[in-house]
Amino acid sequence: MSHSRILDIAVSEFGRKGLEGASTRGIAAAAGTAMSSITYHFGGKEGLYAAAASHIDAEMADQMRSALSDGPVPEDAGDARAEIHRLLDRLAVQLITDRDAESSLFIMREQMHPTGAFDCFYRGTIGRMARRMVSLVGAATGAADRDARVTAMTLFGQVVVWRSSRALVDRLLDGPLDAGHEALVRHRIARNTDCILDRLSADQQEPQ
């Protein structure tokens, strides 16, 4: 039994039941491996939970690689805006439909009731995206740091809501959100993003 298979099952179990509710014995049984194997490789439930968080972060890093840059933030406002669009659109592709639903449950639990595992996400891909977005918003609009931070979270929020409020979305759309909605949602996110950035840019020109 590969580590990856055990971690996939652990992500699902921890996502649905939380750290306290999930059972390493149940995870071992679902993975078709001995309980001693989890103890040997991960040191127990807390170690497995931390490894599951790292597993999620590694998958996110791979999914976002094409849009999440580690290079210098563009100095040109138009280039910074274009990167904002690429980053949000790539994230939307992951969150609009049910791709990686188990990982999302795990992450949402950590957002609401953070444990030590949240540090893995903040040091990793989620934190990188947030910090990059703050810098990009500042470069694209000239906004001060506080405004850039608030705006960055607002921009992320319009994407994340499609996963975090899935039950409401399904009711409002009279059926499950699926790939058929993807183009429309991505288009609306892009238009909203431009409106938000345009307003923030205009705010910088108004007398204080």
Tens of pLDDT along 93-105? 998 877 778 899 9
In angstroms, the CA 160 to CA 156 distance is 6
Say how many CA atoms lie within 13 Å of 87 toward its Cβ. 27
In this prediction, residue 123 carries a pLDDT of 96
Average pLDDT for 136-160: 97
In angstroms, the CA 65 to CA 69 distance is 7
In this prediction, residue 104 carries a pLDDT of 92
Residue spans per domain, the chain? 1-55, 66-203
Task: Classify domain 1-55 at the CATH superfamily level.
Answer: Homeodomain-like (1.10.10.60)
Average pLDDT, the chain: 93
Burial class (CB in 10 A: 0-12, 13-18, 19+), 73: middle
Per the structure block, which two tokens stand in for 98? 């049910």
Determine contact, residues 166/97, Cβ cutoff 8 Å: no
Long-range contacts, stretch 61-65, CB < 8 angstroms, 24+ apart: 61/124, 61/125, 63/90, 63/94, 63/100, 64/90, 64/91, 64/94, 64/125, 64/129
Average pLDDT for 159-171: 92
Chain centroid to Cα 34, Å, comes to 32
In this prediction, residue 161 carries a pLDDT of 94
Average pLDDT for 140-150: 97
pTM of the model as a whole: 0.92
In angstroms, the CA 99 to CA 161 distance is 15
Alpha helices in 100-144 (DSSP H): 101-112, 118-123, 125-141
Comparing 32-36, 54-58, 125-129, which segment has the lowest mean pLDDT? 32-36
In this prediction, residue 31 carries a pLDDT of 87
Chain centroid to Cα 168, Å, comes to 19
Multiple choice CATH, 66-203, 1.10.40.30, 1.10.600.10, 3.40.50.300, 1.10.357.10: 1.10.357.10
> Has residue 199 got a pLDDT over 80?
yes
Tens of pLDDT along 5-50? 899 999 999 999 999 999 999 999 988 888 888 888 899 999 999 9
Q: Phi/psi of residue 136, each to 5°?
A: -65, -40
> Has residue 106 got a pLDDT over 70?
yes
Determine contact, residues 87/151, Cβ cutoff 8 Å: no
User: How would you label 20-30 residue by residue, b for 16+ Cβ within 10 Å and e otherwise?
Assistant: eebebeebbeb
- Whether 1-55 shares its CATH topology with 66-203 is answered no
Determine contact, residues 201/193, Cβ cutoff 8 Å: no
In this prediction, residue 132 carries a pLDDT of 98
In this prediction, residue 208 carries a pLDDT of 61
> Has residue 1 got a pLDDT over 70?
no
Residue 99 or residue 74, greater confidence: 74
In this prediction, residue 27 carries a pLDDT of 92
In this prediction, residue 100 carries a pLDDT of 78
